[in-house]
C-alpha cells in the first residue's frame, strides 16, 4: 500500500518530503500529485513522458509468463540473495525499504517481500500499465510512476535494499537512495539467455561483454559484493514462446509476419535456455 512507503517518498520537483492530504500527496512547497484509483501515484515531473514504458500488451504478456512460473528459479535466487544481504547488514530500525527500480508488475519485489516479512517495498516504473498490477501484487508494495533516468522520488539514504531486474540502471541515483551499507541486487541476462529463440526468431541478442559494461558503469558509485549465475532449461509451448517474445525488448523490433513464420518452424514444445546473473553491489 502507498501508505506504507509515504515516509520514504520525495517530491520530484523540489525533493522535499511528501505527505498525504485526501487523495493526493503534497510537499511543503505546494506541489501536489493525485493518487490514481488503481492504487499507484505518478511522481513524474511535468515535462516527463511515459512513451518508453511497457505497453499494456507487453505488461499482460509478462504477467502471464511470470504467473506460469517459468522464471521461478530467478525469483527464488533473488529472494535468497535479498535475505542474505539484509541479514548481513541489518537495518537500524525495523520495517526498512526495498526499492525495485524498473519493477514492472511487481512480481520479483513481491517474492522478495515474502522472504522479508518486516520490510515494505516501493515499485518504481515508468509504465502505468505495469504499476496497476504492481499496486496489487503484494499488500506491502507501494507503486510509483517515475523515470529511472531522472532523480528518483525517494529520500536520500532511504532504502536498505534495491532491486533491478532486466531494467535500466541509474548509478548516481541508486547510490543516493541506498543507505550506507545498503545493497543493490541486479539481475541481468547472460549471452546464453533464450539463445535458442534468439537464433531461430532473430531476436535481440545479449552482448558477451554486458556484465563487464555494467560493472564499469556502476563502478564509480557502488562496490561489487558477489554474484552467481542462474541457468536452467525451459520447455515452452508455442503460446509461451509468443508471450516471452512479446514481453521483452524484442517486442519493439520484431516484424509480426516474419515472427509468425519463424514460430511455425519451431518444435512444440521447444527447449530454451534461461541464463541470468544475480549480482550484488554495496554502497
- Would you state the cell numbers that stand for residue 42, as one nine-digit string? 505518478
More confident site: 193 or 243 = 193
For residue 219, pLDDT beyond 90: yes
Residues 61-112: tens digit of each pLDDT: 889 999 999 999 999 999 999 999 998 876 556 669 999 999 999 999 999 9
Choose the weakest-confidence range: 54-58, 118-122, 126-130, 140-144: 54-58
For position 252, what pLDDT does the model report? 53
The pLDDT value recorded for residue 95 is 67
d(CA 254, CA 190): 21
Phi, psi of 220 (to 5 degrees): -70, -15
Residue 161 has pLDDT above 90, yes or no: yes
The answer to whether residues 127 and 54 touch, using CB atoms and an 8 Å cutoff, is yes
Question: Is residue 33 predicted with pLDDT exceeding 80?
Answer: yes
Point out which residues pair with 101 in neighbouring strands: 124
Residue carrying C-alpha cell 505495469? 130
Query: For residue 277, what pLDDT is reported?
Result: 96
Cell triple for 12: 520530484
* Fold topology of 2-282: Rossmann fold (3.40.50)
Overall average pLDDT of the 149-165 stretch: 96
Confidence of residue 47 (pLDDT cuts 50, 70, 90): low
pLDDT at 254: 62
Is the pLDDT assigned to residue 190 strictly greater than 80? yes
Indicate if the pLDDT at residue 251 is higher than 60: no
Amino acid at each position: 500500500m502507498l501508505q506504507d512507503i509515504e515516509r520514504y517518498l520525495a517530491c520530484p520537483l523540489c525533493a522535499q518530503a511528501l505527505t498525504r492530504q485526501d487523495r493526493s500527496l503534497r510537499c511543503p512547497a505546494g506541489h501536489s500529485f493525485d493518487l490514481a484509483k488503481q492504487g499507484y501515484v505518478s511522481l513524474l515531473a511535468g515535462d516527463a513522458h511515459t512513451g518508453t514504458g511497457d505497453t499494456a500488451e507487453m505488461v499482460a504478456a509478462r504477467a502471464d509468463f511470470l504467473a506460469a512460473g517459468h522464471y521461478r528459479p530467478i525469483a527464488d535466487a533473488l529472494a535468497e540473495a535479498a535475505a542474505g544481504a539484509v541479514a548481513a547488514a541489518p537495518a537500524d530500525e525495523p520495517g526498512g525499504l526495498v526499492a525495485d527500480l524498473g519493477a514492472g508488475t511487481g512480481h520479483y519485489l513481491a517474492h522478495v517481500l515474502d522472504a522479508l516479512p518486516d520490510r515494505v517495498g516501493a515499485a518504481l516504473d515508468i509504465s502505468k500499465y505495469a504499476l496497476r498490477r504492481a499496486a496489487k501484487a503484494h499488500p506491502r508494495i507501494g507503486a510509483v510512476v517515475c523515470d529511472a533516468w531522472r532523480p528518483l522520488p525517494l529520500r536520500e539514504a532511504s532504502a536498505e535494499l534495491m532491486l533491478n531486474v532486466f531494467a535500466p540502471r541509474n548509478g548516481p541515483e541508486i547510490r543516493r537512495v541506498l543507505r550506507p551499507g545498503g545493497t543493490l541486487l541486479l539481475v541481468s541476462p547472460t549471452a546464453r539467455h533464450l539463445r535458442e529463440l534468439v537464433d531461430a526468431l532473430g531476436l535481440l541478442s545479449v552482448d558477451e561483454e554486458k556484465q563487464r559494461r555494467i560493472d564499469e558503469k556502476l563502478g564509480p558509485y557502488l562496490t561489487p559484493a558477489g554474484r552467481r549465475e542462474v541457468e536452467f532449461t525451459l520447455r515452452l509451448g508455442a503460446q509461451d514462446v509468443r508471450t516471452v517474445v512479446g514481453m521483452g525488448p524484442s517486442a519493439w523490433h520484431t516484424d509480426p509476419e516474419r515472427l509468425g513464420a519463424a514460430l511455425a518452424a519451431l518444435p512444440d514444445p521447444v527447449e530454451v535456455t534461461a541464463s541470468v546473473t544475480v549480482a550484488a553491489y554495496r554502497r
